[in-house]
Amino acid sequence: MSKATIDLPPKGGFSFDLCRRNDMLSKKGARPPSYRKTGTTIVGIIFQDGVILGADTRATEGPIVCDKNCEKIHYMAPNIYCCGAGTAADTEAVTDMVSSQLQLHRYDTGRESRVVTALTFLKRHLFNYQGHVQAALVLGGVDFTGPHLHTIYPHGSTDTLPFATMGSGSLAAMSVFESKYREGLTKDEGINLVSEAICAGIFNDLGSGSNVDICVITKGHKEYLRNHLLPNANVYALKREYTFPKKTEVLLTKITPLREKVEIIEGGDAMEE
């Protein structure tokens, strides 16, 4: 029987079968592509009642902004959220995967997920791939042991902190936290501090930009403020729109009408015997 190369749905995990071909192509001078990065400023703080996470919304592909309003605060569990910086595909895939693992774990244990559980799943996965999965994460949540905030680096090391920043804009944001953070902030003070830190990243770091997203997690409650601040609204757009009086030249037009849905008529003729 010849080797069957049926493309069955894969069992999961990475597949390395194109690596040899891609290596051969790069030796011939074809540069591999650059992946979409999230440039980014992501931050988190612990305040009086829980955790506040913040992120900017710019996604870059090399020097070009490919998404002006992407979402960097990912859902992990009803009480846990995670911000991601680094290669966009990696942060999305890793947070999605661990979110599903946490759901299965919740079914197994019958309890609310703990932040350290999410932390361990993430760090084990990232360490396993020795930093090749380039995801730098800020993980925050509130479980029955209290509020927790962690940072996870691409190689798998983690830190537990009262305030944290990651991404290319982390230095700009950290300068705001180091001067203005104190313990026992109220919710509004916390949101303002996080917004200020993200704005510092947006305006001073080239890899971060657009709007500010905030997520406030407290015991038993979460508030996801998508586009909480829009400091870069497009107010300079032309009021006069582009119109094209001279039509584009068309060589060929093919119209395919889509099938109408079948109408069911009640009380039609009974079938003949």
Partner 1 sequence: MSIFEYNGSALIAMVGKNCFAIASDRRLGVQLQTIATDFQKIYKVHDKLFLGLSGLATDAQTLYQRLVFRHKLYQLREERDMKPETFANLVSSILYEKRFGPYFCQPVIAGLGDEDKPFICTMDSIGAKELAKDFVVAGTASESLYGACESMFKPDMEPEELFETISQALLSSVDRDCLSGWGGHVYVVTSTEIRERILKGRMD
Nearer to partner 1 among residue 19 and residue 146 (C-beta): 19
- Please choose, from the candidates 45, 38, 35, 33, the residue with its C-alpha nearest in 3D space to the C-alpha of residue 168: 38
Nearer to partner 1 among residue 67 and residue 196 (C-beta): 67
Nearer to partner 1 among residue 182 and residue 240 (C-beta): 240
Q: Indicate if 40 belongs to the active site.
A: yes
Q: At what angle do helices 88-109 and 115-128 cross, to 10 degrees?
A: 130
Q: Is 1 helix (H, G, I), strand (E, B) or coil?
A: coil
Residue 131 CB, shortest distance to partner 1, in Å, is 12
Separation CA 136–CA 164 (nearest Å): 12
CA dist 62 to 5, 37, 207, Å? 37, 8, 10
Structure tokens at 103: 């759901």
Nearer to partner 1 among residue 28 and residue 182 (C-beta): 28
Residues 6+ apart with CB under 8 A from 190: 45, 47, 48, 52, 216
In contact, 135 and 83? CB cutoff 8 Å: no
Name the active-site residue from 38, 40, 91, 158: 40
Residue 249 CB, shortest distance to partner 1, in Å, is 4
Structure tokens at 253: 């037009």
**Half-sphere exposure in the Cβ direction for 150 (13 Å, CA):** 23
Residue 71 CB, shortest distance to partner 1, in Å, is 9
Residue 64 CB, shortest distance to partner 1, in Å, is 6
Residue 11 CB, shortest distance to partner 1, in Å, is 11
Structure tokens at 66: 């490919």
Q: Is 150 helix (H, G, I), strand (E, B) or coil?
A: strand
Strand partners, 61: 64
Residues that bind partner 1 (CB under 8 A): 7, 9-10, 13-22, 25, 29-33, 35-36, 59, 61, 64, 66-67, 70, 87-90, 92-93, 132-133, 238, 241-242, 244, 247-259
Catalytic sites, residue numbers: 40
